[in-house]
Amino acid sequence: MTIWVDADACPNQIKQVLFRAAERTGIDLLLVANQAIRTPPFPNIQSIQVSQGFDVADNEIVRRAKQGDLVITSDIPLADELLEKGALALSPRGEMFSVSTIKAKLNMRDFMDTMRSSGVHTGGPPQMNDSDKREFANALDRYLAQLDVG
């Protein structure tokens, strides 16, 4: 089992939670990004730098993730592809994506994209806060407890 991270957009505070969990449990943690990512010097924590380009990191994660792997991402289309493969997807805000809700999330995402394209200012997601970090850490701990590794 591997934990993959869509690292270009993953907040640093969430990466720190992941580093501590990987150190504590020994689970493989792989961060995939278009840029170099510094990681702690543990053999089970690595970063993979892919070339620049639209969805290059996402495509690498989809290509390499296996059934049962966990992927940390806020990218809804990426989460959808991973769920179809049998992988799990967890947002940096602690929301576990599910097969039963992902299509509705995709529809809402597409609707908001259409609104923005037509000139409507929709704003972005709220700033990450301590509550979000706690929610993520709790969701990750619940997941690791199910594996009996945390």
In a domain, 126, yes or no: no
Task: For residue 2, list its beta bridge partners.
Answer: 28
The range of the structural domain enclosing residue 53 comes to 2-121
CATH at 116: 3.40.50
In a structure prediction context, what are the per-residue pLDDT tens digits for the chain, which is 150 residues long? 999 999 998 999 999 999 999 999 999 999 999 999 999 999 999 999 999 998 999 999 999 999 999 999 999 999 999 999 999 999 999 999 998 888 878 766 666 677 667 777 766 677 899 999 999 999 999 999 998 875
Number of H helices, E strands in the chain: 5, 5
Q: Look at residue 7 and tell me if it is in a domain.
A: yes
Using alpha carbons, select from 63, 48, 127, 142 the residue that is nearest to residue 95. Answer: 142
Name the nearest CA neighbour of 88 among 74, 70, 100.
70
- Residue 53 is assigned to a structural domain of this protein: yes
